[in-house]
């Protein structure tokens, strides 16, 4: 093994590493290695424990000026912008075996860091006026994008209920844009100036994800499609087997887990709200989930009955997995989600399971990872 003099690493490389450290504690550890390493962090913002990643702020011209023949976009807000939120794992620097999950974005008016409910984009209410971050180590685990109608918005615009930041080819160049699924199930593209609807290929799309550099979309029949950098849609070679659920899909979402792609089907039932003998209306209630994974050898999606130590987090703006043992109270082999703004968890047991809510005192510990004790 060849000895390496770590103190002689290129200054640009040291600065590149230092600029991406996630906490004040990590910066101090980095700068204590040697003098060259310490000097490389001299101009890094030590007061901000999170990397400086401003929102991608679009200033689109009104849709009426670019899509005069398309009435579907008359209500699109020309002041809308793309908001980036990030999920972080926070641990005590003295004990990093377990941690909490927090979610944040940045107020574009003040530039201040804001905490959000991890399962939504609503502000997180906290009792602490200040936090000494020297006590904690913070690492980013996921990012999520949403097209909001104004700076203080918490709901995605109807044209982009699910969004993904993508690179699109234009001539010899590539630039960023937003692909999203609207409330009507159609796929829309927006580059900050032009809003357009992609040619309809599937049947009411339900989710979108960029996985290993490829953009996938999922329609309500369980068919997976790919979108290339030219915004051309093609059908993926496999889809969910209609025999599994008799072709009756509910709410389908993509989830990344251990670098593999999963599909989660949210099962619900219609509950009538009665007044006497009269049904006022019906509301939908989640009763369970089905999980599917691509089997590359069989070239088809198969149902998964256990997630082992993994837990799926089904936020409103993205879905992802975590290792349960790394978070306080996190239940392994489970799916965390929200319903009517209440956090809930579904324990997956051999394909079946039960739902736990946070409404009872006995179940609150199962949601401890979303409610850090220091807030």
pLDDT digits (tens, 9 = 90+) for 168-214: 887 778 788 899 999 889 999 988 777 888 887 767 899 999 999 99
Claim: this prediction has a pTM higher than 0.85: no
Contact 147, 180 (CB under 8 A): yes
| Residue-averaged pLDDT of the chain | 78
**Which residues contact residue 154 at a Cβ distance below 8 angstroms, ignoring those fewer than 6 apart?**
120, 121, 122, 123, 148
In order of 32, 216, 219, 261, the CA distances from 228 in angstroms are 46, 9, 17, 18
Q: For 22, left (φ over 0), alpha (ψ -120 to 50), or beta?
A: alpha
- Which of these ranges, 3-7, 42-46, 341-345, 359-363, has the smallest mean pLDDT? 42-46
What is the tens place of the pLDDT at every residue in 277-317? 666 666 688 989 999 998 777 777 889 989 999 999 999 99
Contact 88, 140 (CB under 8 A): yes
In eight-state DSSP terms, residue 123 is B
pLDDT on residue 109: 60
pLDDT on residue 193: 72
Contact 249, 311 (CB under 8 A): no
Q: For 68, left (φ over 0), alpha (ψ -120 to 50), or beta?
A: alpha
CA distance 226 to 118: 28
The answer on pLDDT for 263 being more than 80 is: yes
Most confident residue range from 52-61, 131-140, 174-183: 174-183
The answer on pLDDT for 328 being more than 90 is: yes
More confident call, 284 vs 332: 332
The answer on pLDDT for 227 being more than 90 is: yes
In order of 83, 162, 259, the CA distances from 144 in angstroms are 8, 10, 17
What is the tens place of the pLDDT at every residue in 248-258? 456 899 999 99
Q: For 39-47, what is the mean pLDDT?
A: 62
Q: For 324-342, what is the mean pLDDT?
A: 94
**Which residues contact residue 86 at a Cβ distance below 8 angstroms, ignoring those fewer than 6 apart?**
50, 53, 103, 104, 105, 140, 142, 143, 144
């Amino acid at each position: 093994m060849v000895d390496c003099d770590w103190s002689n690493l290129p200054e640009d490389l040291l600065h590149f590493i230092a600029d991406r450290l996630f906490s004040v504690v990590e910066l101090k550890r980095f700068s204590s290695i040697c003098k060259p390493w310490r000097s490389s962090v001299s101009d890094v913002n030590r007061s901000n424990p999170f990397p400086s990643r401003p929102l991608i702020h679009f200033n689109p011209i009104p849709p009426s000026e670019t899509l005069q023949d398309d009435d579907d976009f008359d209500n699109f807000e020309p002041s809308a912008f793309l908001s980036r939120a990030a999920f972080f794992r926070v641990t005590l620097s003295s004990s990093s075996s377990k941690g909490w999950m927090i979610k944040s974005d940045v107020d574009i008016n003040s530039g201040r860091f804001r905490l959000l409910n991890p399962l939504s984009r609503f502000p997180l209410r906290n009792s602490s006026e200040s936090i000494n971050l020297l006590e904690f180590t913070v690492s980013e685990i996921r990012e999520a994008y949403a097209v909001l109608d104004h700076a203080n918005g918490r709901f995605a615009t109807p044209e982009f209920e699910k969004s993904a930041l993508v690179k699109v080819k234009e001539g010899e160049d590539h630039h960023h844009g937003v692909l999203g699924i609207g409330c009507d199930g159609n796929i829309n593209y927006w580059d900050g100036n032009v809003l357009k609807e992609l040619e309809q290929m599937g049947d009411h799309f339900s989710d979108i994800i960029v996985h290993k550099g490829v953009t996938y979309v999922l329609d309500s029949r369980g068919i997976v499609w790919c979108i290339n950098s030219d915004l051309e849609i093609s059908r993926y070679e496999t889809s969910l087997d209609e025999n599994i659920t008799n072709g009756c899909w509910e709410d389908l979402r993509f989830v990344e887990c251990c670098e593999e792609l999963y599909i989660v089907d949210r099962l619900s039932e219609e509950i009538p709200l009665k007044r006497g003998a009269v049904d006022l209306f019906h509301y939908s209630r989640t009763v369970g989930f089905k999980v599917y994974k691509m089997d590359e050898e069989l070239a088809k999606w198969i149902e998964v009955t256990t997630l082992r130590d993994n837990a799926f987090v089904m936020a409103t703006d993205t879905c992802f997995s975590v290792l349960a043992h790394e978070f306080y109270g996190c239940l392994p082999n489970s799916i965390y989600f929200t319903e009517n703004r209440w956090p809930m968890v579904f324990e997956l047991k051999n394909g079946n399971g039960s739902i736990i809510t946070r409404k009872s005192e006995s179940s609150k510990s199962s949601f401890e990872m979303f409610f850090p004790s220091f807030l």
